[in-house]
Amino acid sequence: MALKGLTIEEMEPVSAAWVDETNPAHQAILTVAELSGLLPKLKGVHAELHAAVPQDDPLAKEISQLSATTDATHDALARGVYGYLTEVALLVDDGTPLLALRDELMPEGLSAVVHNTYRGQAGFAALLRGRLTSQSRGQLRELPLPGGKSLHDAVEGWLAAADRLGELEETKARLQASVPTVAGRIFDARNRWIRTVNALIANAALAELDEEQERLIFGPLRAAEATADARAARRGPAQVVDAAKPPPQLSGE
């Protein structure tokens, strides 16, 4: 799962293990030259992350959590649609129309869709609706899913999740405008944490860690990802009809 799927509350204890000098994860990082140089940066982003969400700002936390869960739904549905068209094309005499439909939905591939920013995902959905032809919609309706649904329902659920991400980003922007010292700190802290952790992961790949080092250093991260994956699974492609509906409204809206 991409790091953006973690909530800020899940990020904090992950980096806490890395920067705590008494923690085995920290000690393991010190033994790897490719990683130890990142410790000052990790300490900085962890401190920023730890202080980013004040206890008296529940709306900011709610936005962060809703964005993460909505993005998980978005990504699961997009992956399901892409995988469905790709795999079914292998089972029919001529899968070319299915692959053409897949490429019409995601002309730059699946990765460009699921790894986009929240605003980018919302913008992609708006553009896709504009270029999706009635013929293509008809093709999607003819592709069945269990429970009497069709692939068209899955696509609508995916696009509805993208719309909701755009709405949440607008809500976050309004919050940042009204309380820039709080909301701006949250936004910057999350992005810097993600960039730094991605650098740690990339350097670890270059260092070719052994199994014990991998477990000590990335155990907390893998556990957080498992939690996020379980959350995404509960809102996965099987929930096509529910996913097509907007998630619950923010209590502060």
pLDDT tens-digit map of 103-141 = 999 999 999 999 999 999 999 999 999 999 999 999 999
Q: Report the chain's mean pLDDT, rounded to a whole number.
A: 86
CA 138 to chain centroid: 30
Q: How far apart are CA 47 and CA 12, in angstroms?
A: 9
Provide the token pair at 193. 């944490």
What value does the mean pLDDT take over residues 60-64? Answer: 83
Quickly state the pLDDT bin for 241 (edges 50, 70, 90).
very low
Residues 6+ away with beta carbon under 8 Å from 5: 68, 71, 72, 75, 225, 228, 232
Quickly state the pLDDT bin for 243 (edges 50, 70, 90).
very low
User: For residue 159, what pLDDT is reported?
Assistant: 97
Can you give the pTM of this predicted structure?
0.54
pLDDT exceeds cutoff 70 at 238: no
pLDDT exceeds cutoff 90 at 209: yes
